[in-house]
């Protein structure tokens, strides 16, 4: 969570039962019970992904990344360099550098690949709109309050801007604010959408009263809360640990959390934590990514490694993949051929992992 805290500082109420029908699920409290060493799936070395680092692309201050929907380009946000590097996925060469007016905090791209959104933090703290056909800035959305992250809805119609005390939702066609969620003193810092876009799972650091760690808020995207009490009513889980990141499986049945050294596997069909996978001795976990076919989850660990988890067995494949310094984010190409690891340490870099079948 150290990196998420850095992001935060420098990056009519509905009941849970009313929310369940649109996802067909419920959520339970994620406890901090005893964790076990990860079970190892020795069969993954035979016929599974190659998991070979095929390139390391130098970056001074790599911080975040997204892959274009056609998997041809990778966009990397360089935090205090105030730039976005554009990488040709065929050659792993940087083909363009887009200059920003402030520090680059987060990136999001529309499903058609035509528009890149760049969240900037600093004097202005706004969202820059980039035309990907020309890599030129076309407009700038209004100021954000202590921005932490952005995300585009699965249908591409809405842009979510998360920040201290609020979530702003912008219509991508008109660039007008459609709605605003008052989160009070809670600081939302990450969102993962259900594949159908009906639900949004928002991670937020809890900084009021006796609340510690993170909260998971399940929001119905068709009937969003507006007031602080309504927002708090939609909190369905909390933990004493900070959640580093979350991602949803392609079928929407599983939500994966990383908290410290743990990976929490939450089964939304059975309405319970399915398993907690503890990988100790490799530092803190970061933002995970699941492959498009849902078979594997890739999780970065800050000591310089990425672990692959077989989602059918929740077993870890050994050995871990050695990458760059302080990996924090993994993104996977929609083709499922390559995983890109943002190494946020010094020196910064992006590790390209071939995850095609052997």
Q: How far is it, in rounded angstroms, from Cα 118 to Cα 270? A: 37
Give per-residue pLDDT as tens, 97-134.
999 999 999 999 999 999 999 999 888 779 999 999 99
3-class secondary structure, 17: helix
CA distances from residue 327 to 298, 303, 320 in whole angstroms, order as listed = 12, 8, 13
Q: Are 288 and 275 in contact (CB under 8 A)?
A: no
Indicate whether 239 belongs to any domain.
Answer: yes
Which of 280, 272, 207 shows the shortest CA–CA distance to 4? 207
State how far the Cα of 87 lies from the Cα of 338, in Å rounded to an integer.
13
- Domain residue limits at 175: 32-354
Residue of 320, 277, 273 lying closest to 301 (CA atoms): 320
Q: Are 344 and 60 in contact (CB under 8 A)?
A: no
Cα gap 109→2, rounded to integer Å? 26
Contact between 285 and 299 (Cβ < 8 Å) = yes
Kindly state the tokens that stand for 100: 């920003």
Residue 117 lies in a domain: yes
Tell me the whole-structure pTM to 2 decimals. Answer: 0.87
Contacts 24+ apart (CB under 8 A), 292-297: 292/250, 292/332, 292/334, 292/335, 292/336, 293/250, 293/336, 294/249, 294/250, 294/251, 296/48, 296/49, 296/355, 297/247, 297/256, 297/263
Q: Is residue 18 part of a domain?
A: no
CATH of residue 50's domain is 2.130.10.10
- Report the C-alpha gap between 167 and 114 in whole angstroms: 24
Is 3 within a domain? no
Structural domain count of the chain: 1
pLDDT tens track, the chain, 358 positions: 334 333 332 333 333 333 333 333 333 333 333 344 455 554 444 568 999 999 999 999 999 999 999 999 999 999 989 999 999 999 999 999 999 999 999 999 999 999 999 999 888 779 999 999 999 999 998 766 788 999 999 999 999 999 988 999 999 999 998 999 999 989 999 999 999 998 898 999 987 655 567 888 889 888 999 999 999 888 877 777 788 899 999 999 999 989 989 998 987 777 677 899 999 999 999 999 999 999 999 999 999 999 999 999 999 986 899 999 999 999 999 999 999 999 999 999 999 999 999 8
Distances in Å between the Cα of 246 and the Cα atoms of 67, 105, 155, 258 are 17, 17, 20, 7
Residue from 290, 288, 278 nearest 327 by CA: 288
């Amino acid at each position: 969570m150290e990196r998420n805290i850095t992001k935060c500082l420098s990056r009519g109420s509905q009941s849970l039962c009313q929310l369940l029908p649109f996802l067909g699920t419920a959520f339970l409290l994620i406890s901090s019970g005893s964790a076990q060493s990860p079970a190892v799936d020795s069969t993954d070395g035979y016929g599974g992904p190659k998991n070979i680092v095929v390139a390391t692309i130098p970056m001074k201050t790599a911080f975040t990344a997204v892959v274009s929907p056609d998997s041809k380009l990778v966009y990397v946000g360089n935090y205090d360099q105030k730039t976005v590097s554009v990488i040709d996925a065929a050659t792993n060469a940087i083909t363009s550098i887009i200059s920003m007016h402030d520090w680059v905090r987060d990136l999001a791209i529309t499903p058609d690949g035509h528009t890149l959104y760049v969240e900037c933090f600093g004097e202005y703290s706004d969202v820059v709109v980039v035309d990907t056909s020309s890599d030129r800035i076309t407009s700038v959305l209004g100021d954000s309050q202590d921005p932490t992250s952005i995300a585009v809805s699965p249908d591409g119609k809405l842009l979510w801007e998360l920040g201290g005390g609020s979530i702003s939702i912008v219509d991508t066609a008109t660039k007008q604010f459609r709605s605003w969620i008052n989160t009070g003193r809670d600081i939302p810092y990450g969102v993962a959408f259900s594949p159908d876009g009906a639900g949004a799972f928002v991670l937020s650091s809890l900084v009021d009263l006796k609340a510690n760690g993170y909260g998971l808020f399940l929001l119905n995207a068709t009937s969003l809360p507006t007031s602080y009490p309504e927002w708090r009513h939609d909190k369905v889980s909390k933990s004493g640990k900070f959640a580093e990141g979350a991602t949803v499986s392609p079928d929407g049945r599983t939500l994966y959390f990383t908290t410290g050294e743990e990976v929490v596997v939450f089964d939304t069909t059975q309405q319970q934590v399915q398993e907690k996978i503890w990988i100790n001795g490799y530092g803190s976990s970061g933002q995970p990514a699941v492959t498009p076919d849902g078979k594997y989850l890739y999780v970065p660990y800050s000591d310089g490694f990425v672990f692959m988890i077989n989602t059918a067995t929740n077993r870890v494949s050994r050995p871990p993949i050695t990458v760059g310094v302080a990996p924090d984010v993994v993104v996977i190409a929609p083709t499922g051929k390559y995983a890109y690891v943002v190494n946020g340490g010094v020196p910064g870099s992006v590790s390209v992992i071939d995850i095609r079948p052997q």
